[in-house]
């Protein structure tokens, strides 16, 4: 999965090369990640983050961390749920 944070709204991601007014809302994107099937996800890259351009609240840095947490916690939960279901199915068979 490749995420270019230039596409997010400048209020959510000011530390980018090409800030985007009216870009993707970070909270909406994070909620969407929770609905994705990430079971076959092998790698993630987040590009265009320029820490030296971040605001005093470190909005872009927080977005990058939130993205990684949402993606990999969702993937971890999905894998463990699948493994748990498979184990229960074999135990009752």
Cβ-contact 23, 48 below 8 angstroms: no
Position with higher pLDDT, 4 vs 89: 4
Rg of the chain in Å (alpha carbons): 17
Host H or E run for residue 46: strand 45-47
pLDDT value, residue 80: 77
Segment of 10-19, 31-40, 74-83 carrying the highest mean pLDDT = 10-19
Cβ-contact 20, 10 below 8 angstroms: yes
pLDDT value, residue 86: 63
Q: What are the tens digits of pLDDT across the range 18-75? A: 998 999 999 999 999 989 999 889 999 999 999 999 999 999 999 999 999 999 999 8
- Per-position DSSP letters for 2-16, written without gaps between them: EEEGGGBBTTT--SS
- Measured in whole angstroms, the distance separating CA 65 from the mean position of its chain's CA atoms is 8
What does DSSP assign to residue 27? H
pLDDT value, residue 79: 78
Q: Cβ-count burial of 78 within 10 angstroms (0-12 exposed, 13-18 middle, 19+ buried)?
A: middle
pLDDT value, residue 82: 61
Domain range summary for the chain, segments of one domain joined by +: 2-92
Cut 0.85: pTM above it: no
């Amino acid at each position: 999965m490749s995420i270019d944070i230039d596409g997010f709204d400048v209020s959510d991601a000011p530390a980018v090369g090409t800030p985007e007014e009216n870009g993707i809302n970070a909270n909406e994107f994070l909620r969407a990640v929770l609905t994705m099937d990430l079971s076959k996800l092998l790698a993630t890259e987040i590009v265009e983050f320029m820490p030296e351009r971040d605001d005093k609240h470190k909005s872009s840095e927080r977005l990058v961390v939130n993205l990684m947490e949402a993606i990999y916690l969702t993937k971890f939960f999905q894998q463990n749920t699948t493994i748990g279901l498979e184990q229960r199915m074999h135990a009752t068979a």
